[in-house]
Amino acid sequence: MYQKQIIIHVGAHKTASTYLQKRFFPELKDIYFTGNHSANIKNNCCFYPLDQLIRSGEPLFNWQETKNNLYQNLYTIEEETILYSQERLMGRNIIAYNNNPIITNLLADIFPDAKIIFVFRKQDDWVESVYIEEILKRNVNLKIEYFIGIKKNNIFARTDFLDVRHLCWDKFLLNYRQIFGDDNVLALPYEMFKLKPDVFFDYLTSFIGTDSFYPEKQVIENKSHSLLTIKYQYYIRKIKDNKQLKESKLKQHLKLIDKSINHSIENISNKFGKKPEIISPKHKQQILSLHKESNKKLSEIIDIDLSQYNYY
């Protein structure tokens, strides 16, 4: 087995994971950070089994041997506390994390004594953000109503994509606590990060067991863009990825002007364009109403008043 303290940040998606991976976790004292956006991940094969879980949701054929090698590799790390951050360990966001229990059980098989960090977000905003990231930015022709299963009678029904009925964060939290222990799971609202960042960071450092740290400036990572900018970014990527343009002067020019054009489009959209309404206020309210009791229960479990962040 292993004698290191393992802490795993599982996301969820669209809850400041990139910010934490770039500007918070790497700066923590006496903590070995690896995972997404970490300089250590390329030179560290310790977490290969976790990468396998991310890709397939299934253990390797030689699972026990792989785990033993992983435990041996952990001793090559000087720090006693290892923090691994990978939001895809939460599961697949576009299917409302239906595969989370499978991944979580396999994760516990590797690190049964791990501590888990789980950041969640108000369901209506989370759904909208995922739709923009996974559908609009990929230029997929899929209406929001079909994506989240809204029928003509405004009732949420089963969908091949994101079933909003399954976004009960309290159930995910209770499963993590049942498997890893109540004291080994920290759950925080993303809205606390936005509105009370110092309180958010205090919760994290206390749970991780390191000195307090507050990033100097809260820079926005994965900033939301207008629909016009999203469309532009998609088509410019298609041009850049064209193999025939690989060595062409046009592609070189595109690299030079892309940033300035993108910035100009965003400025124009912000100045003259109305913020696009991805999910109607009516459907947003329906999503929150659907999870009202679940969010109240979540609030009681973590002892944080989520009503101040409009969860109910």
User: Which of 8, 2, 3, 16 minimizes the C-alpha distance to 207?
Assistant: 8
The pLDDT value given to residue 144: 86
- Say how many Å lie between the first and final Cα of the chain, rounded: 44
Query: Per-residue pLDDT averaged across 83-98, rounded?
Result: 92
Mean pLDDT score of the chain: 83
74 or 152: whose pLDDT is higher? 74
Query: Per-residue pLDDT averaged across 177-199, rounded?
Result: 97
CA distance 215 to 16: 13
Please say if the pLDDT value at position 10 is more than 80. yes
Please say if the pLDDT value at position 245 is more than 60. no
Calculate the CA 120 to chain-centre distance: 9
Please say if the pLDDT value at position 247 is more than 80. no
CA distance 300 to 62: 42
Q: What is the 3-state secondary structure (H, E, C) of the chain?
A: CCCCEEEEECCCCCCCHHHHHHHHHHHCCCEEEEECCCCCHHHCCCCHHHHHHHHHCCCCCCHHHHHHHHHHHHCCCCCCEEEEECHHHHCCHHHCCCCHHHHHHHHHHHCCCCEEEEEECCHHHHHHHHHHHHHHCCCCCCCHHHHHCECCCCCECCCCCCCHHHCCHHHHHHHHHHHHCHHHEEEEEHHHHHHCHHHHHHHHHHHHCCCCCCCCCCCCCCCCCCHHHHHHHHHHHHHHCCHHHCCCHHHHHHHHHHHHHHHHHHHHHHHHCCCCCCCCHHHHHHHHHHCHHHHHHHHHHHCCCHHHHCCC
The pLDDT value given to residue 192: 98
pLDDT band with cut points at 50, 70 and 90 for residue 13 = very high
pTM of the model: 0.83
Q: CA of 142: how far to CAs of 91, 132, 136, 243, 267, in Å?
A: 22, 11, 8, 28, 27
CB-based contacts of 4, cutoff 8 Å, min separation 6? 74, 75, 77, 80, 81, 82
Q: CA of 131: how far to CAs of 25, 40, 134, 284, in Å?
A: 27, 31, 5, 13
Q: What is the pLDDT of residues 297-308, one digit of tens each?
A: 999 999 999 999
Q: What is the pLDDT of residues 136-160, one digit of tens each?
A: 777 777 888 888 887 766 667 666 7
The pLDDT value given to residue 237: 61
The pLDDT value given to residue 136: 77
Instruction: Average the pLDDT over each of 248-252, 285-289, 303-307 and give the range with the smallest value.
Output: 248-252
pLDDT band with cut points at 50, 70 and 90 for residue 272 = low
Task: Name the packing angle between helices 48-56 and 100-110 (round to 10°).
Answer: 160
The pLDDT value given to residue 31: 96
The pLDDT value given to residue 173: 98
Query: Per-residue pLDDT averaged across 65-69, rounded?
Result: 81
Task: Please state whether 181 falls in left (phi above 0), alpha (psi between -120 and 50) or beta.
Answer: left
Other Cβ atoms closer than 10 A to 304: 18
Query: Per-residue pLDDT averaged across 83-111, rounded?
Result: 92
The pLDDT value given to residue 289: 95
Please say if the pLDDT value at position 226 is more than 60. no
Instruction: Look at the chain and count its residues.
Output: 312
The pLDDT value given to residue 63: 79
